[in-house]
Structures are given as C-alpha cells and as structure tokens.
Amino acid sequence: MEEVIVSIRGAEKTYGKQIVLKDISLDIKRGEIFGLLGPSGAGKTTLVKLLVGLDTPTSGETYLFGQRMPCLKLAGRIGYMAQSDALYTELSSRENLEFFASLYGLKGGQRRRRIEEVAELVGLSSSMDKIVAQFSGGMKRRLSLAAALLHEPELLILDEPTVGIDPVLRQQIWSAFYQLQQQGTSLIVTTHVMDEAEKCSRLALLRDGSMIAAGTPEELKRETASNTMEEAFLYYGGARP
C-alpha cells in the first residue's frame, strides 16, 4: 500500500465573510506529482499555504508526514516555491543560493555540491555570477526552484512554478520534475495550464474554493467522455481558466 504523506480533512478557510476554501478533503501519496488545477481565485494558493504552514484553516486539519500542520520541525523535509519570487535582486544567482543554503544549514563541500547540482538541474549553470536584477521572469522562476531544491526535500510544493516561462523552458522544467520524481521526491504543483495538468500523476480540480473532482488525468477524461483536460474541467463545472 502506497504511503500517504499529505492528508487534508475538511479544510475550510474564510476571511471575514469571504469563503476561500470549502470542505477540502484529499490524500496525496509518496512519489506522486499531484496537480491542483483551477483558474485564478479557485483557492489553489490558499490551500498550498495551509499545507506548508504559512496559514491555518478556519476549520478542518492538514497533515504532512503524519504531523498536523503547522509543524516547524518538518521545515527541512519540505521545499516551497511561492507564486512570487523571493530573491535578492542585487545579488548574483550564486550569492542567492549561498544565502538559502546557509538557512538550510548546508556547509562546506555539501553546500558547493548542492548549489552546482540544482543550478544544472534548472539550467542556470552558465548564469551563476549574473546579478538577478538582470534576469528575465523565467530565469527568476528557475532560480526560485533551485533555492527550493537545495536541501533535497522529500516533498516539493510549487505554486504556479512555470508562470511567465516560455514553452521550451517549461518543458525543461517538467523534465526536471520527472527526474526528481524518479529520485523519490513527491511534488505538489498548482497550475491553470491544461497541458501541464495532463503531466501530473493525479489531480484535484478546484473551482470557487471547492474541489469539484479528483483522479488521474486519464480517469477524469474517461469519466466525462472528454478528449482533453479542458473538456473534462468544463464538464465538472469549471470555468475556462
């Protein structure tokens, strides 16, 4: 039986009278690339913040590795890439990664090795000494991904990781995701891009804070007699992202 590493039970989130998440329950298994698919405002980012412990549910519970979140001692097992890049633009790529590596307690040869490895994985090896202020949006996203990978997390949580990235680079980043999956890393990826949804092991479809369906891309298409994930999403009551 596959190990469940993320468990969400009846999670709801409200801000005043605004309901952002409504009764979300799902399990995510080790080794999956699990997609959270939905348009802007569907609740994807709020759900991700509950998972990483940056926010708490108004009701319900979220568990990672069997521990109720938020749980500070799990920080070393989780990598998180937010929707907006948290980088020091006056520093170089290398200096940014040196800083984040120090936060994770990486030292000496291990630090140098991991910086080289993650830079190669995201295709930034030739840009390590460039100032981040000179980077395109896509390069900043790749550097943010590299920073999230430094400490070799068991679970990588990525909020819109490929937004603003051209199709060729997007394909390269997904190749990196598959490589990480093969190495045993579990990934949660939020997206509003239908062809990215097709690449996930399983998906939860979100609309207006509710989960309207969940399953593998093949299951969701088969159950709705759809040829594409976009058709399936619309069938379940989603709006075109």
Residue 241: inside a domain: no
- Report how far residue 75's alpha carbon sits from residue 73's, in angstroms, rounded to the nearest whole number: 6
* Residue 240: inside a domain: no
Q: What is the pLDDT of residues 52-70, one digit of tens each?
A: 989 999 999 999 999 999 8
pLDDT in the model for residue 41: 87
Residue 68 tokens read as 């109720």
Task: Convert the pLDDT of each residue in 70-113 to its tens digit.
Answer: 888 888 899 999 888 889 999 999 999 999 999 888 999 999 99
In a domain, 80, yes or no: yes
Is residue 137 situated within a structural domain? yes
Q: In Å, what is the CA distance from 167 to each residue of 15, 164, 173?
A: 36, 9, 10
| pLDDT above 50 (res 241) | no
* 93 vs 170, higher pLDDT: 93
**Structural domain of residue 126, as residue ranges?**
4-235
For range 24-48, the mean pLDDT: 94
For residue 165, give the CATH number of its domain. Answer: 3.40.50.300
Q: What share of the chain has pLDDT > 90, as a percent?
A: 70
The packing angle between helices 93-103 and 137-149, to 10°, is 30
Average pLDDT across the chain, whole number: 91
Q: Where are the strands (E) in 45-171, listed by range?
A: 59-64, 67-68, 78-81, 155-159
- In this predicted structure, the answer to whether residue 239 has a pLDDT above a threshold of 70 is no
Q: How many domains does the chain have?
A: 1
Residue 238 has a pLDDT of 57
d(CA 192, CA 198): 11
- Tell me: the pLDDT tens digits for 178-210? 988 998 899 999 998 888 999 999 999 999 999
Report the percent of the chain where pLDDT is more than 70.
98
**For residue 72, what are the CA distances in angstroms to 81, 131, 144, 152?**
17, 32, 21, 17
Evaluate whether residue 34 is within a structural domain: yes
Give this prediction's pTM. 0.90
Query: Tell me, what's the pLDDT at 83?
Result: 83
121 lies in some domain: yes
196 in a domain, yes or no?
yes
| The predicted structure's pLDDT at residue 84 | 80
Amino acid at 220: L
Q: Tell me what the mean pLDDT of segment 123-131 comes to.
A: 92
